[in-house]
Amino acid sequence: MTEKVIEVKHVSKRYGNKTVLNNVSFSVRKGTIHGFIGPNGAGKTTTLSILTRLVLPTHGEAYVDSKSVNRDPSFNQRLGFIPAEPKFPSLSVEDYLLDCGYLRDIPKGEVLRNLYRPRIYLLDEPFNGLDPSFRQDLFNNLKTIRDKGGTILMSTHILSDLQKLADDITMIKRGRIVYSGAKTPDIEKTYEDYFIEKEVARELLQDQVGGVIDRKEIRNLLEDEEQ
């Protein structure tokens, strides 16, 4: 059986009355590139933040390397994380980690030894803002990591890259998983099916059933239905 190195089990996250993640479950197989897709505000960054313990779930549990993120502090020993908005974009990764190590009294040798250890990577929109040559470099590096047995969970809006890179995909919509499994033959089409066409079709149906209905009213109905 394929080893699952990342598992999200029935995770929900609420901020006050707002439910941002609603019973989210999916897993990432070892040695794969797994695309995490969904419209703005769907809950991708929140999920990645829960997997790094930057955000705590309201319910449910996340596992990295078979360790509970909430209960086992060693969950992140082989985890690398690149946030969507790095705080110090002018520093190299090595310099950034050396500075963090300095602040925490971790000797330089130990920091450098650990720098190349991650085998599980969480990347939040890693292609954003890259020029074509850096984008190609990253593309090749991700493939190399996967080919050497590393595992990558990556959120992105660039579906053409995922089509070439990903083994599996998970799609999230308003905090709920709508698809998780093998990469489909045409991810853009699948995306349209889940996020655009179905909604338009349902709107048309509502129009037929109820006569002329205000678009905003239909959106409210759809949202109520999905709560």
Q: Distance (Å, rounded) from C-alpha 43 to C-alpha 39?
A: 9
The residue (of 83 and 118) whose beta carbon lies closer to ligand ATP is: 83
Determine the 3-state secondary structure of 169 from DSSP.
Answer: strand
Determine the 3-state secondary structure of 82 from DSSP.
Answer: strand
Q: Could you tell me the two tokens for 222?
A: 């759809």
Q: Distance (Å, rounded) from C-alpha 93 to C-alpha 205?
A: 52
CB of 18 to ligand ATP, least distance (A): 6
How many chain residues are in contact with ligand ATP, going by CB under 6 A?
11
Q: Is 171 among the residues that bind ligand ATP (CB under 6 A)? A: no
The residue (of 106 and 158) whose beta carbon lies closer to ligand ATP is: 158
Of the listed pieces 13-21, 113-121, 139-147, 212-220, which binds ligand ATP according to CB under 6 A? 13-21
Among 42, 79, 154, 162, binds ligand ATP (CB under 6 A): 42
Among 31, 35, 43, 126, binds ligand ATP (CB under 6 A): 43
Among 1, 2, 17, 40, binds ligand ATP (CB under 6 A): 40
Determine the 3-state secondary structure of 25 from DSSP.
Answer: strand
Q: Is 52 among the residues that bind ligand ATP (CB under 6 A)? A: no
Q: Could you tell me the two tokens for 85?
A: 């908005």
Q: Distance (Å, rounded) from C-alpha 46 to C-alpha 111?
A: 28
Q: Distance (Å, rounded) from C-alpha 136 to C-alpha 128?
A: 13
Determine the 3-state secondary structure of 153 from DSSP.
Answer: strand
Q: Is 44 among the residues that bind ligand ATP (CB under 6 A)? A: yes
The residue (of 101 and 175) whose beta carbon lies closer to ligand ATP is: 175
Binding-site ranges for ligand ATP (CB under 6 A)? 15, 18, 20, 38, 40-46
